[in-house]
C-alpha cells in the first residue's frame, strides 16, 4: 500500500475500496519502521494527520465532494514555511524561529485536501547537493544507506522512495529537485520560472523554482496542477494557470534531441548506458530521437552559477550573526561563490549558455540528457577537504557532477527528471527531459511514455523494514 500511486489511491477512495485512514495508517507505520535508518522527516504531524484522514473519509461518502488531493499524505519540504511551525532552515542559528506565514505551495496543497503529515529534511539553507545538517543529522538513500539521496530536496526524495509519503514538495535552485529525483528513482519537476508561486524575495531569483515530486509521472502532474498558477503575493507568478492534460504519453512523431553529455562533464559509463537506453525506449515509443552535441563548458556554467549564487544566496548565508553555529559546507558555500565576477558578467555567460540550447529547441520538441554524471554522493561527506572523482577525474567542485545548473540558468525551460536505471551500487540514475520555454505538457508526455516503456518498481527498497 505504501507504494500505491496517488492517482490510484484517489480512485480507490472514490470507489470506497480504500479509506484515507487506512492509507495514512500504513504510511505512518512505514515511517516508524524505516525512519531510524533513512531520517527523511524533519517534523511529523501524525496524530493531526489521522484526524484529517477521518474527515477526508466523509468527503468520499454519500453527498461528499472530494477535492483534488483529498486524503492523500503529502510531505512538504522543510524550507517551505508553515505558519506557527518551526522555521529553522536546517540551521542551529535559527533553531528557535517560528514561521508567521505559510508558503503558497503548502496553502494550495492543504486547500486541495492534501494532508501534510510530515516535513522533509534539507541541508542547511538548502545550499548543498546532499542532505545533512547539525539540526537533523544525515539523511540516507533508502536504496543504499551508504549514499545520500542528494539535495537539497533530499528528504523529499528519500521519503517517497522509502514509502513514507505519496506526494512531496521540493524546490530547485541548482538541481535541488532533479538531483534527489535521480538519486532516489523518483520523479521531480522543475517548472518554468514563475509557473509555481514562491515567497519574496527569492521569488525574484530566476534560478528559484518550487515544484512537485512523486513516484510516477501522473502523480507529479497531479500535484503540479494543484500548485501552479498566479498568486497575489508573487509578482512573477504566471497567469493564467496552466493545467497539464490527464491523458499523457502520446509521443509519436515528436522530435527529441539526445545529448549523452551537455559538453565536457565527466559521465560514468553506467550513467551513459542508462541514458542511451532511455533514448532507445523513446524511439520504440514512436519519437524521432537524434543524438546531438550541445557543446557547453562546465567551467562556464559553474562560473555563471557561482556569480549568481554569490550575488544573492551567498550574502544571505553571510548575514547570519552566529557564524560559528553554521556547518562547514555552508561557510564553504559562501567562500566558493565570493568574488566570482560581477552580475553583468554572469548575465553575459548565461546568455551564451542558453544560445545553443535555444537553437536546439527550435529544431526539436525536447532535449534529453543525464541528470548527474555519477550515481550519487556518499552519505556524510561534505567535500570540504576531499574532492569528488567522477569517471577517474577529480573535479574542482563536487557540484560539477550535476548537469542540472544549466537549466536553472535556462530557467524558463521546464525540466522533468525521471529514472533511467540503476547503478552497480543499487543507487538509481536519472535523466532530464528539457522542454521548450514554458512548454510544460511535452516533457510530461515524454516522461509518461518512458515510464510505460520502462516500468519502475520500489519493491527492493529496505525489504527488511516495515
Q: Which of 42, 133, 148, 152 is catalytic?
A: 152
Q: For the chain, what percentages of helix, strand and coil (3-state, to nearest 5) are there? A: 40, 15, 45
Q: Which of 42, 153, 176, 423 is catalytic?
A: 176
Give how far the C-alpha of residue 108 lies from the chain's centroid of Cα atoms, to the nearest Å: 18
Rg for the chain (alpha carbons), in Å? 20
Residue 237 is among the residues annotated as catalytic for this protein: no
**Spatial contact of 219 and 7, defined as CB atoms under 8 Å apart:** yes
SS3 75: strand
Residue 116 pairs with which residues in a beta bridge?
Answer: 74
Q: Shortest CA distance to 258 belongs to which of 284, 226, 282? A: 282
β-bridge pairing 415-422 and 393-394: unpaired
Residue 176 is among the residues annotated as catalytic for this protein: yes
Residue 231 pairs with which residues in a beta bridge?
Answer: 234
Q: Is 384 exposed, middle or buried, given 0-12, 13-18 or 19+ CB atoms closer than 10 A?
A: exposed
Residue 6 pairs with which residues in a beta bridge?
Answer: none
Q: Which of 77, 237, 420, 423 is catalytic?
A: 77
SS3 171: strand
Q: How many CB atoms lie within 10 A of CB 91?
A: 21
Q: Report the run of H or E that residue 12 belongs to, with start and end.
A: helix 6-15
Residue 420 is among the residues annotated as catalytic for this protein: no
Catalytic residue IDs? 77, 152, 176
Amino acid at each position: 500500500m505504501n507504494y500505491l500511486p496517488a492517482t490510484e489511491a484517489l480512485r480507490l477512495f472514490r470507489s470506497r475500496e480504500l479509506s484515507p485512514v487506512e492509507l495514512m495508517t500504513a504510511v505512518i507505520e512505514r515511517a516508524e519502521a524505516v525512519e531510524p535508518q533513512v531520517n527523511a522527516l524533519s517534523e511529523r504531524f501524525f496524530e493531526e494527520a489521522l484526524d484529517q484522514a477521518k474527515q477526508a473519509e466523509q468527503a468520499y461518502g454519500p453527498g461528499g465532494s472530494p477535492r483534488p488531493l483529498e486524503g492523500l499524505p503529502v510531505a512538504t519540504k522543510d524550507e517551505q514555511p508553515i505558519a506557527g511551525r518551526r522555521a529553522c532552515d536546517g540551521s542551529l542559528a535559527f533553531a528557535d524561529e517560528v514561521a508567521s506565514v505559510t508558503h503558497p505551495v503548502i496553502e494550495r496543497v492543504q486547500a486541495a485536501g492534501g494532508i501534510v503529515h510530515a516535513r522533509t529534511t534539507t541541508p542547511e539553507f538548502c545550499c548543498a547537493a546532499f542532505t545533512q545538517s547539525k539540526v537533523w543529522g544525515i539523511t540516507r538513500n533508502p536504496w543504499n544507506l551508504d549514499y545520500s539521496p542528494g539535495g537539497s530536496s533530499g528528504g523529499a526524495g528519500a521519503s517517497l522512495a522509502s514509502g513514507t509519503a505519496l506526494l512531496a514538495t521540493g524546490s530547485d535552485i541548482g538541481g535541488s529537485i532533479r538531483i534527489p529525483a535521480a538519486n532516489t528513482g523518483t520523479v521531480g519537476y522543475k517548472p518554468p520560472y514563475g509557473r509555481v508561486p514562491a515567497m519574496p524575495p527569492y521569488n525574484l531569483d530566476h534560478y528559484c523554482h518550487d515544484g512537485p515530486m512523486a513516484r510516477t509521472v501522473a502523480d507529479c502532474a497531479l500535484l503540479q496542477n494543484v500548485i501552479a498558477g498566479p498568486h497575489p503575493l508573487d509578482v512573477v507568478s504566471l497567469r493564467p494557470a496552466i493545467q497539464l492534460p490527464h491523458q499523457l504519453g502520446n509521443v509519436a512523431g515528436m522530435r527529441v534531441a539526445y545529448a549523452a553529455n551537455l559538453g565536457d562533464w565527466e559521465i560514468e559509463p553506467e550513467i551513459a548506458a542508462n541514458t542511451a537506453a532511455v533514448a532507445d525506449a523513446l524511439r520504440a515509443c514512436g519519437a524521432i530521437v537524434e543524438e546531438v552535441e550541445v557543446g557547453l563548458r562546465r567551467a562556464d556554467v559553474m562560473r555563471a552559477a557561482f556569480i549568481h549564487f554569490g550575488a544573492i544566496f551567498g550574502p544571505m548565508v553571510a548575514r547570519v550573526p552566529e557564524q560559528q553555529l553554521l556547518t562547514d559546507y555552508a561557510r564553504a558555500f559562501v567562500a566558493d561563490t565570493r568574488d566570482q565576477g560581477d552580475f553583468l558578467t554572469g548575465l553575459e555567460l548565461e546568455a551564451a549558455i542558453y544560445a545553443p540550447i535555444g537553437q536546439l529547441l527550435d529544431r526539436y520538441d525536447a532535449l534529453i540528457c543525464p541528470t548527474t554524471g555519477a550515481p550519487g554522493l556518499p552519505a556524510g561527506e561534505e567535500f570540504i577537504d576531499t574532492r569528488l572523482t567522477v569517471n577517474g577525474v577529480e573535479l574542482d567542485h563536487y557540484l560539477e557532477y550535476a548537469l542540472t545548473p544549466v537549466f536553472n540558468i535556462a530557467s524558463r525551460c521546464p525540466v522533468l527528471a525521471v529514472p533511467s536505471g540503476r547503478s552497480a551500487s543499487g543507487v538509481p540514475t536519472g535523466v532530464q527531459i528539457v522542454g521548450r520555454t514554458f512548454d510544460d505538457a511535452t516533457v510530461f508526455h515524454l516522461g509518461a511514455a518512458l515510464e510505460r516503456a520502462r516500468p519502475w518498481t520500489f519493491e527492493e527498497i529496505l525489504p527488511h523494514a516495515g
